[in-house]
Amino acid sequence: MKVSCLQFDPKHGQPKQNMAKATQMLAHLSEDDKLDVLVLPELGFTGYTFKDREQIRPFAEDGETGETVQWAKAQAIRLKTFVLVGYPRIVVEDGKEKFYNAACFVGPTGELLFTYHRHLLSKNDEGWADQGDGFKYLDVPSLGRVGFGISLDLSTHQLEANRWMCDFTRFQADSGSQLILCPMAWTRTELDEGLEEEDPSFGTVKAWGQRLRPVIDSTREVPDKTVIVVFANRTGGKQENLSFSGTSTVLSITGGMGSIMDAVSLGREQVLYCEL
pLDDT single digits (tens) 36-50: 999 999 999 999 999
User: pLDDT for 175-217, tens place per residue?
Assistant: 999 999 999 999 998 888 889 999 999 899 999 999 999 999 9
pLDDT of residue 190: 86
Per-residue pLDDT, 158: 46
Nearest Cα to Cα of residue 236 among 184, 182, 187: 187
Q: Which pLDDT score is estimated for 156?
A: 61
Q: What is the pLDDT of residue 162?
A: 52
Residue 263: its pLDDT value, please?
97
The SS3 call for residue 198 is: coil
Cα–chain center distance at 42: 5
What is the arrangement of strands in the sheet containing 2-7, beginning at the earlier edge strand? 112-117, 96-106, 82-93, 37-39, 2-7, 270-275
The whole model's pTM is what? 0.95
pLDDT score, position 161: 47
What residues of the chain score a pLDDT lower than 50? 158-161
Domains of the chain are 2-275 (3.60.110.10)
DSSP character string of 48-99:
S--SSHHHHGGG-B-TTTSHHHHHHHHHHHHHTSEEEEEEEEEEEETTEEEE
* Strand 112-117 with 136-140, pairing: unpaired
Predicted local confidence at residue 193, as pLDDT: 87
